[in-house]
Structure 1
Amino acid sequence: MRRRLALLVAATTSLVLISLLVPLAFLVHRVAENRAFHEATGEAEAIAVQVGTIAPAELAGTVERSAQINGHPVTVFLSDGTLIGSPANRSPAVELASRGRSVTAQTTGGWEVLVAVKDSQNRPTVVRAFLSDDDLRRGVYGAWTGLLFLGLILIGLGVVVADRLALALTRPMDAIARVSHRLAAGDLTARTEPDGPPEMQAVGVALNGLADRINDLLAQERENAADLSHRLRTPLTGLRLDAEALCDVEEAAKISARVDALERAVTAVITEARQRTGGKQRCDAAAVVRERVTFWSVLAEDQARELTVDLAPGPLHVAVSAGELTACVDALLGNVFAHTPEGAAFAVRLTPADQGALLEVADHGPGFRRVDPLVRGESGAGSSGLGMDIVRRTAESSGGSITLGATPGGGATVSLVLGRPATP
């Protein structure tokens, strides 16, 4: 914007100066011509006054001195055909002037100013002053150069003033843009100092108000999460007591373990929801994926599913927390068990990638339905449709991406690129 304003002012100033300086340049040229003609006419008239009052020899000296002083060739045509001064042809304009009419006529290489006069014997005499083309343009090019430099100086001053004015507008705009990017990146403490014109100050105040409102909403959400923990604690405690009251000790221990896992999951969700900032996190993807594959491999063995595991040795750091990656892997593997028949084989593969790590989960089930699995809340298989949304958001929060495809031989493949954490 700053550059565009400077260009706009430069263009506008140039147009104004052209509309003023071009006519002024023609006027300077015309004034120079009039001045040259006026000087030549005065010179010729001064000599014409002396015609008939002094002898021809003395007149010749006067003509020579005038030519040296003024720089214009001067010729006196006497009635008997004699020439005094600079040699010149007797042109038709001279013949016309010899009839008693003073004229100015164009000739080869310039102009001749002719003054008609009578000598002492009342015979026609013509005084000729010659103006070359250079005489008519004397001083014009210097004046034009001065006008050109004046125009350039004015354009430069206009651009400098426009740049200062543009800076007064763009500086607060840049500050607001920087604060907006910080807020978008999760820095909710970012605020701008309202500056600049009243309109820009109003935008800054509105942005600060928006940031405050976001903080208030997040604080309210965190408190709601805390309330949720208290609401869930009572039924979880009752469920644990019921499990401990079972006669089958093994079954009671199994259900208690499930209740403990559920309580840990609820606590992890609440803890994450109450985090104040969206600071960058990291974890070892190899360790997390290996731990979750080990957990799900027990269920795979119970359902006679063939599990192929290809995990890169750690550490393989990615820009997500261990809890987020755990939920992501559980969502992927949970979908395999929920949407493929028992006995359907699946594979888990984790390899390093240019951006960080590549996690692939491929099964040999029926494949994806028509509904886009990445659309939040749409499953097409009777589930909530939130699992793949968790996977997608995990990939995007790390700076990676997700790709859905078909498994060779039938089935669905989910390829997840997890971004590498920033160097501390």
Structure 2
Amino acid sequence: MKQRVVRVALVAAIVALVLLAVPLAVAIRVSFFADERGEVERAAMAAAVRVSPDFAAGDPVELPSGSSERQVGVYDRQLRLRAGTGPGRADSATRRAMADRVVQDQTHNDLVAAVPVSQDERVIGVVRASTATQQVWNRVLLAWGALLAGALIALGAAVLVARRQARILSAPLEALSRTSLAIADGDLSSRAELSGITEIDQVASTHNTMVQHLAQLLQRERHFTANASHQLRTPLTGLQLGLERALDTPGTDQSAALEEALEQAHHLQHTIDEVLRLATAEAGPPAAASTLPAGDLLDRVEARWHGPFAQDSRRMEVVPDPAALTLPVPGQTTDQILDILLDNARRHGAGTVTVTLRELGGALALDVTDEGTLAIDAMRLFERGATTGTGTGIGLSLALELAESTGARLSLTQRSPTRFTLLLPQSE
């Protein structure tokens, strides 16, 4: 990533420098030669004004002192050098100037300017000035060297800027790569940080959203496995014990044992349905659930749990409000919540367990009370994994999720003796 960004920046910088430097180098050459031609012509004109009208009669010429780089000479009509420096015989530019016109010429070695000197509309001589082209080329090459040095400095600055920008651009992508590797190693809490670069931040946000959804899916799968294991343990144990008791006890009514086993199997099926519904439920309004009269629900719960509490030498009482027995409740969900609360009372509570049904005007209240004392912080009571003994700490968390999935409310209403209350709203 870094090398690619640097290469792209360098290519762009080189192309820009070439497009700028080549025309500028050509312009420098043309400008330097044009300036030198002008200087040579001005030198020739300055010398021409020093030639007196008596030049043709042999009057000597005093030429002005000029640059050591230039040659200035005066030629008569016989094309001979009379004063100054230059070729002994006039060159082509000087001969053309005899026709009374200023001539500029460039030979292989010199830049030449020839200016005619006239007297009474008659050319009496020609002033020739010249500069070696190598002198001009030296100045051109020096300027080109300065231009090249500036281009190299600009290219170096472009490299530094490109490397810095490459680090800025690649750093969030490298961080995103490290985050992806951490997630691949199982750390689903890792999230990509925003960098301030819009396009990269969009990728990071999409990545975080994807990871969030994956984490939720994995959490649902894990919760489903844990919830199913937790909820199926008690009914499976009851089913197994009932069948073993029927086989081991002579004279047992096999039909009654099979009916009880069938009832336990139905309850297992309902348990699986509820746990699966909770695992696949999406956020939104509570899903419609099948209902049954509250009295029938209490009868089923008492039939399932009277025996287990009796085996522990504990009592279970059901105290219904007669006015509420016919009111509908979400059967399977409420069944599962009560199973969790009663199992929790059996494992962690003490004494008699009482299930109370109350009608509150617009809602039904189901209280599960035992004679024990809550030994865990109420703030952590419904957290998954929170437990006071050897349990998994799943039950109360699952009961709360089940209650919320149908719009009900589960809460601890008393610490000693311990009492949990499930509020079931009644539709009007």
**Secondary structure of the equivalent of 1:137?**
helix
State the partner residue of 1:154. Answer: 154
**Alignment partner of 1:77 is 2:75:** yes
Evaluate the alpha carbon distance shift between residue 119 and residue 200 of structure 1 in structure 2; reply closer, same or farther with a 3 A threshold: same
State the partner residue of 1:231. Answer: 232
TM-score of the superposition, structure 1-length normalised?
Answer: 0.50
Distance 1:204 1:123 in 2: 88
How do 1:179-328 residues align onto structure 2 when only pairs under 5 Å count?
179-229=179-229, 230-232=231-233, 234-235=235-236, 239=240
Deviations 1:262-305 (A, max 9, x none): xxxxxxxxxxxxxxxxxxxxxxxxxxxxxxxxxxxxxxxxxxxx
1:35 CA displacement: 1.2
Distance 1:102 1:218 in 2: 96
Distance 1:82 1:174 in 2: 81
1:126 CA displacement: 1.1
Q: How many residues align?
A: 243
Q: Is the 8 A contact 1:72 1:131 kept in 2?
A: yes
State the partner residue of 1:62. Answer: 63
Deviations 1:39-59 (A, max 9, x none): 111111111111126876862
Identity of aligned residues (%): 26
1:233 CA displacement: 5.5
State the partner residue of 2:393. Answer: none
Distance 1:122 1:239 in 2: 141
State the partner residue of 1:114. Answer: 114
Q: Is the 8 A contact 1:105 1:112 kept in 2?
A: yes
More displaced stretch, 162-171 vs 185-194: 162-171
1:113 CA displacement: 1.3
Q: Is the 8 A contact 2:115 2:128 kept in 1?
A: yes
Evaluate the alpha carbon distance shift between residue 53 and residue 71 of structure 1 in structure 2; reply closer, same or farther with a 3 A threshold: farther
1:105 CA displacement: 2.5
Q: C-alpha root-mean-square deviation of aligned residues, in Å?
A: 3.1
TM-score of the superposition, structure 2-length normalised?
Answer: 0.50
Structure of higher CA gyration radius: 2
> Gaps spanning 5+ residues in structure 2: where?
250-428
**Secondary structure of the equivalent of 1:101?**
coil
State the partner residue of 1:164. Answer: 164
Deviations 1:239-266 (A, max 9, x none): 578679669xxxxxxxxxxxxxxxxxxx
Structure 2: which amino acid aligns with 1:205?
S
Q: Is the 8 A contact 1:51 1:119 kept in 2?
A: no
Distance 1:107 1:200 in 2: 63
State the partner residue of 2:98. Answer: 98
More displaced stretch, 39-48 vs 128-137: 128-137
> Gaps spanning 5+ residues in structure 1: where?
248-424
Distance 1:39 1:126 in 2: 17
Q: Is the 8 A contact 2:81 2:90 kept in 1?
A: no
**Secondary structure of the equivalent of 2:104?**
strand
